[in-house]
Structure 1
Amino acid sequence: MAAEIGISPATLYIWRRQYGGVDTDAAKELGALREQNARLKRLLADAELEKYALREIAK
């Protein structure tokens, strides 16, 4: 099956392990949630860096 869609068997295995039993809509929602989570983590990291810089300047 992997050769039919042009991916490696390892990639297919990973997809099946990660998304096995999940319907298409749920998989799309999971992908969107992961993107949002990554964006929020970057925002938090930026805010923490800014707080750190302000504390260092205040010293």
Structure 2
Amino acid sequence: MRASQFSDAQKTFIPKQGDDGAPVADICRKAGISQATYFNWRKKFACLPPTEITRLKQLGDENARLRRLVADLSLDKEMLQDVVRRKL
């Protein structure tokens, strides 16, 4: 996945401009994002301070790491079970 060119502060600031009454189309054009991205950011980041967004990213990274670990352990378990079955 490509890294975002926008900082966490920008992801919270851009949707808040719409709360001030600015048209969404103008905000998106100035920021260089699609309206779908604007509404996704508004849903996800509008109520969070930038520090919480950073924490959310850290939790997502940790979750992905733990999922890979569980997948590796499950594969190891299946391989060991196959070895035990063959010996019996």
TM-score, structure 1 length as denominator?
0.92
**Percent identity between the aligned chains?**
34
Decide which of 25, 31, 47 is 2:57's aligned counterpart: 31
Deviation at 1:2, TM superposition (A): 1.4
Map residues 1-59 of structure 1 onto 2, 5 A cutoff.
Answer: 1-59=27-85
- Unpaired runs of 5+ residues, structure 1, are none
For 2:46, the aligned partner's letter is G
Secondary structure of the structure 2 residue equivalent to 1:10 = helix
- Structure 1 ranges of 4+ moved more than 3 A: none
Deviation at 1:15, TM superposition (A): 0.9
Count of aligned pairs between the two proteins: 59
* Structure with bigger RCO (C-alpha 8 Å, 6+ apart): 2
CA-to-partner distance for each residue in 1:10-51, whole Å, 9 max, x for gaps? 011011101121000000110111011111111111001100
Larger Rg: 2
TM-score, structure 2 length as denominator?
0.64
Distance (whole Å) between structure 1 residues aligned to residue 39 and residue 54 of structure 2: 19
- Unpaired runs of 5+ residues, structure 2, are 1-26
